[in-house]
Amino acid sequence: MDLLIAQITTDLRSSDALRQSSALLQALQQCAAGRDVSALARTTATEILAAPSSAVCKRLALDLLRALPLPPDLLDPLLLSSLRSDLSFPDPDVAASSIASFPSLPSHLLPTLLSSAHADIAAALSSPAESLRLAAVTSLSSLLPRDDLALMCSTNPSLMGHATTWWGRLTELALDSADAVAAAAFEALARLFQELDARRMSRLAGDKLVDGEGALAVRAQWAADAIDFIWSRRNMLIARSMVMPVESFRVTVYPLVHAAKMVASGAVNTLRQIAKPGDTTIADTVEASAEKLVGVSDIVSHLLPFLSSLEPPLVFEVGINMLSLADAPGGKPEWASAAIIAILTLWDRQEFSSMRETIVRAVVANLHLLDLGMQVSLFKRLLQMLKNLRAESDRMHALACICRTALCVDLFAKESVRRGQKPVPGTDVISLFEDARVKDDLNSITSKSLFREELVASLVESCFQLSLPLPEQKNSGTESRVIGALAYGTGYGALNWTEPALDVVEVCRPCVLWDCDGRTYAIDCYLKLLVRLCHIYDTRGGVKTIKTGASQDQILNETRLRNLQLQLIRDLREVHTSRISSRLIWAISEHFDLEGLDPLLADDPEDPLNIIISNMHKTLFNTDSSATTSNRIQDVQAVLICAQRLGTRNARAGQLLSKELEEFRSSTSADSVTKHQSRYVLQIIKYVTNHPDNRWVGVGDATGDYPFSHHKLTVQFSEAAAAQDRKLEGLVHKAIQELWRPNPSQLTLLQTKGIGALHKDLPKARTLTGSSDPCYIEAYHLADPTDGRITLHLK
């Protein structure tokens, strides 16, 4: 290798252009093969770039230096002066190679170079040579949106002036006669908008720079100017994009749509306020909202024909952007339905099969833009599509979206009927999940797929989110329509969420019979919702009547809950898992109306109380191997607590349970702890039976809490099912949280809380433990909100 480098060095030092170019080609080949040729960097810079050389050699030398790690002393001033002089080289290809090297330079060298080369860069952007214009646009589009350059511009007014001029020229080049240059300019605009919205490039580059107010103001200024230009010349830009080759057309879609949406929603004024915080003269530049609507409609009618294109990536890009416009003020459901139908046609396209997760994510995130009929018809198809998704996080996100929209549709339709409108068929939660395959999946005892557990857990967690206060919305965004539908649906009272929740507990009733190989998370979620509803409607007190002041709706709902409880009691005999059996007994007996039972049927084995007690007997005396390995202690504890609560509430239950507990105490199934506990429960039941007037008020009342958890003591019982439960819970909670309580973007924070919202907290040290004992671990952790990292220090 040393001999080869010596040979290449000798050739580079010769004044023969042919030998120099072949030596540079050889060095590039070695570099591409992964070999270290960094020893050639200095020779290349001094012999080729700093000395008079041919255009081919200069281009090859610049390509080589871009691929090598450069020593700091070589960069400054030798290489900078060479790059600076090559910008004015007569051959435009050499100037293009020189300007293409700018993004690979370290940040601290950029201000000097860019300020001194301002005239040359401006000349390159207006050059008659297409290759030079293209290189200038490509180089600046990857350089200008970067964090470091935005920070420099915020502190360097001269550089800011130059950069603003370059952005102005870049936006004009979107109308360039050369297709490649116009496409590169459109890409540059897309990159600027994406960087302002999501900081995508900066995250990819792993930037750790703290984004200051100045950097944000700089980007906002550039974006506002670009949006103004695109909006004012939109017809020309539309015409220019129509004559571009079909493979380049895709890059023109996003900048046009983004600019239209920012103008239509008024967000462009927010950008202007961020760019010039004290300026009170900022007003809407577009006088009439009619002009905004016409402009948006023009762009939609320009994009509509491309939804039937034969190129899947183009269909997807156009579809996604049309959904974005459908969500803007003045957007129409027809635009959304056309886009979603087009995106769904890609599902069966062979070449697009790897993008199925993206298709589903795009469709479910925009379901709320469709009219009710279309949403209902899409539900059943979407549920089948979800079952085939590989990525769990995508599946969870999609399920969370579907469950939220199903509850919205249900609430919205019920509220419309209350207000005198005609009912829309198929909008209640029960009929949304009436698809034969979903029904079969819910009703089968054993199933290999986790999908049904994910569906039940997502539905139930969505109901709980619906019961919480809705997040405050100050801006119109993607979420606003969903929140609007929910607010409209919950307009008459805080308990309206219980109606769709009742549908959910009825639809998901078969889940208590499932055999899930020890997993209990989905069934625990279901029982938690059931207990909450029983507590809210006070099912212990029986079904209320009109005489006691109950409304028709309340009577209907309480009757439904009572019937559901009776059905679940009948299902108790078929429950496969002892863990679920004991929890279901607790959930029902805690909230069941015992006083409403017919005393004449006390000896009937089909009497609800007799069924409950016979199943408690079964759990107490269950000694088969599966019960002992799955931690039988928990099941017995649940039944004993249940016996205590049930026996103190009702005299007949107390008598029956006393017999059961006496039998259990004297059997071999009870260990010493449970024997003592049984004695204690028996004493309580006996005391309450003998002194009915001394009972403490409120002690035996139902609280609406579900005291069980699917978390098992993994140190003692290392079960695979417990790990799967925890994983499923994490995925469901994350998806629900992201959807219902999303973290606001930078622009949203600025619109709602002002510029102070961007200030990041410094890491704080918190002491976790401390003790007077000489043998202790002292620990503290640094929680860094910027990095999302927790460092734990132990000593």
Q: What is the dihedral of CA 100, 104, 105, 107, to 10 degrees?
A: 120
Looking at residue 714, the DSSP 8-state letter turns out to be: T
Contact 591, 565 (CB under 8 A): yes
The tens digit of pLDDT for each residue in 122-161 reads 888 888 888 889 988 988 888 888 877 888 888 888 989 9
What is the structure's pLDDT at 574? 87
What is the structure's pLDDT at 476? 43
SS3 at position 729: helix
Cβ atoms < 10 Å from Cβ of 71: 10
Extract the tokens encoding 763.
Answer: 């890491």
- Crossing angle of helices 213-232/179-198, nearest 10°? 140
SS (H, E, C) 634-695: HHHHHHHHHHHHHHHHCHHHHHHHHHHHHHHHCCCCCCHHHHHHHHHHHHHHHHHHHCHHHC
- Give the residue ranges of the chain where pLDDT is below 70: 1, 49, 70-80, 198-213, 278-288, 350-353, 391, 470-495, 624-631, 695-700, 710-719, 745-795
Q: Domain limits of the chain?
A: 307-370, 720-794
SS3 at position 749: helix
What is the structure's pLDDT at 330? 78
The tens digit of pLDDT for each residue in 435-494 reads 788 888 888 888 777 888 899 999 999 998 888 876 655 444 444 455 555 555 554 455
Percent of the chain past pLDDT 70, that is, above it, reads 81
Question: Pick from 459, 460, 449, 572: which is nearest to 517 by CA?
Answer: 449
- For the chain, the straight-line distance linking the first and the last C-alpha, in angstroms and rounded, comes to 50
The tens digit of pLDDT for each residue in 393-409 reads 778 888 888 888 888 88
